[in-house]
Structure 1
């Protein structure tokens, strides 16, 4: 289920606070629209994402755990997640 407008705003605010590199010349309204579009895309494609998860994980993981795992994958891709195994 898509985030509420309030939660989308909180995501954007937290993301902006945590940036370690300068943000590009994009307005806050444009960034808010990007958050909304990405959240809508996730909502529209959740069935496809779920179908891509092999069994038995698909059946055993809750929706919350699946979203959390996707979050970890995305954070790693963004270079924002270090694991103990990285040394």
Structure 2
């Protein structure tokens, strides 16, 4: 499950429950080990071409419900051979 109630820069420490002071909390985090199998079917997939430079990219999704951009990152590949 996602981690809810991530403290923001306005967090005072007086409230430990995000529901009592939502203005002090600013995010929900999703990590690979937080998500159980939701059994969602794949609705879209893409291959990133070899040689695409590192950076932040956006996949634009447009359908009858609306338009959205899903951000993703391309990172350089390092050959991490011991010793590090």
TM interval, short-chain normalised: under 0.3
Q: Tell me: higher relative CO, structure 1 or 2? Use CA pairs within 8 A at least 6 residues apart.
A: 1
- Flag the structure with higher strand content: 2
- TM-score of the superposed pair, with normalisation by structure 1: 0.19
- TM-score of the superposed pair, with normalisation by structure 2: 0.20
Question: Rg: which structure is higher?
Answer: 2
